Amino acid sequence: MTSANTPASRLATRLAFLVAGFGVACWAPLVPFAKTRLQVDDAVLGVLLLCIGVGSVAAMLLTGALSARHGSRPIIVAGGLGMTLLLPLLSIAPTPLTLGAVLLLFGAGLGSLDVAMNQHAVDVERAADRPMMSGFHALFSVGGFLGATLMTLLLSWGAGAFAATLACAALMLAAMLLAWPRLLRAAGAGDGPLFVAPHGVVLLMAGLCAAVFLAEGAMLDWSALLVTGRGLAGEAQGGLGYMCFAIAMTAGRLVGDAVVRRIGDHATLVRGGLLAVVGFAVLLLAPLPALALAGFALVGLGASNIVPVLFRRAGAQTVMPAGLAIAALTTTGYAGVLVGPAGIGFVAKATSLPAAFWMLAGLMALVPLAARRVTRAA
C-alpha cells in the first residue's frame, strides 16, 4: 500500500471532506428554484428532499462492504465525481420524477463519499500516529459554508441556476482531480467478509453517533422555533441560535486535533459530552437572549469532537472490519439526522419543545457515561 503518512495523502483527505460539504451545501439554495420550476406543493417537495437521504443511506450500506474489499480510493473518486456531474442536473430536471431520481443518485454519491473518506481519514491518521480526524471533519463544515455562500452569491448576482451549478461543479471537479492521484491506492483493501452485522462496542459507538447527529439535526430544524417560542428572539432573528451552534462546532473541530493530543480520546468524550449537556441546560433555562446564544455555542463546542473521536475508535476496534464499522457509524448518524427531527416533533407535540430538547440533553449525557467503554475497545 502507498505510504499513508505523506502531505499528499493528507491533502487528498482534506479535499474529499471539502468536496462533500461543498457539494451538499450547493443544493440548499436551489430548493426554492426547484419548487417554483416544477410547481410542486410542500408535500411533494418534502418527498423530493427525502430522496437525498434515502439514496445516501442505501449507498452507505453498500459502501462499507465495497470499501472493506476494494479500499476507499475508487469509492471516493466515484462518489465525488458523481456528485460533481449530478449537481448541474439538479437545476434543470424537468419533472418531479426526474428530479427525485437525480436526488437519489446525488444522495448515493454523497453517502458513498462520506463512508469512504472517513475510512481514508482513519488510515491516514493511523499512519501519522497523531490525531487528525477533527481537522478533517472541520473541512466538511468549511466546505458547507463555502458552497452555500458561493451558490447564494452567484444566484444573487443574477446568474441562472444552471450556470451557478456549473461554476460550483467546476470547482468540485478541480478539487477531485487534484485529490485523485494522491489518494491511497489500497487503503482498507482486503479479503474480509462483505457484510458483518454491527455488534459489541460498534453498536455502542453507532448509538452515540446517532445521538450526536440527532442533536445536530434538531438544532438545524427546531432551534429557531425554540427561541422564538420562548420569546427570546423575533422570527427574523430565529436563526441566530443555529448560527452560534455551527460556528462553535466548526471552531471546535479546527482546534480539536490539538485538544485530543493534549487530553486524549477519553477526556475529549467526557468533557465534550458534559459541556454539551451544560449548553442545553443554559439555552433552556436562560432568561436572556445572550445567555441562550451562549448555550447554543456551548452545545456546538462540546459536540464538535465527539464524532471524530468515535470514527477514530471505530477504525481502531477489532470486533469487525474497520470499513464496515465506519459504515455503521455513518449510516446510523445519518439516520439520526433524517429521522431525529421528526421524532423531536412527535415528542414536542406530546409534551413541549423544551421537553424534547431536555431529552436531547439526556442523550448527550450518554457520551461521558460510555466514554470508558468506547476508549477501552482498542
Boundaries of every domain in the chain? 7-182, 201-375
What is the C-alpha to C-alpha distance for residues 67 and 117, in angstroms, rounded to an integer? Answer: 10
What is the C-alpha to C-alpha distance for residues 339 and 346, in angstroms, rounded to an integer? Answer: 11
Q: Give pLDDT tens digits for 58-116.
A: 888 888 777 767 788 999 999 999 999 999 999 999 999 999 999 999 999 998 998 89
Among 128, 304, 347, 342, residue whose Cα is nearest residue 221: 342
Among 134, 141, 138, residue whose Cα is nearest residue 263: 134
CB 189 within 8 A of CB 70: yes
Would the CATH topology of 7-182 be identical to that of 201-375?
A: yes
Grid cell locating 245? 451552534
Grid cell locating 351? 409534551
pLDDT in tens, the chain (378 residues): 456 778 999 999 999 999 999 998 888 888 888 888 999 887 788 788 888 888 888 888 888 777 767 788 999 999 999 999 999 999 999 999 999 999 999 999 998 998 899 889 988 988 888 889 999 999 988 998 888 889 888 988 988 899 999 999 999 999 999 999 999 886 444 555 555 667 788 899 999 999 998 888 788 768 878 888 888 877 667 778 888 888 899 999 999 999 999 999 999 999 999 999 999 999 999 889 899 999 999 999 999 999 999 989 988 888 887 778 888 888 888 777 777 767 888 888 888 889 999 999 999 999 999 999 998 865
* Residue 23: per-residue pLDDT: 92
- DSSP-assigned letter for residue 3: -
Percentages (nearest 5) of helix, strand, coil residues in the chain = 85, 0, 15
**Farthest CA pair distance, the chain:** 58
- Classify residue 267 as exposed, middle or buried by CB count within 10 Å of its CB (0-12, 13-18, 19+): middle
What is the C-alpha to C-alpha distance for residues 107 and 104, in angstroms, rounded to an integer? Answer: 5
How is domain 7-182 classified at the CATH fold level?
Growth Hormone; Chain: A; (1.20.1250)
Residues 201-375, CATH architecture: Up-down Bundle (1.20)
CB 55 within 8 A of CB 107: yes
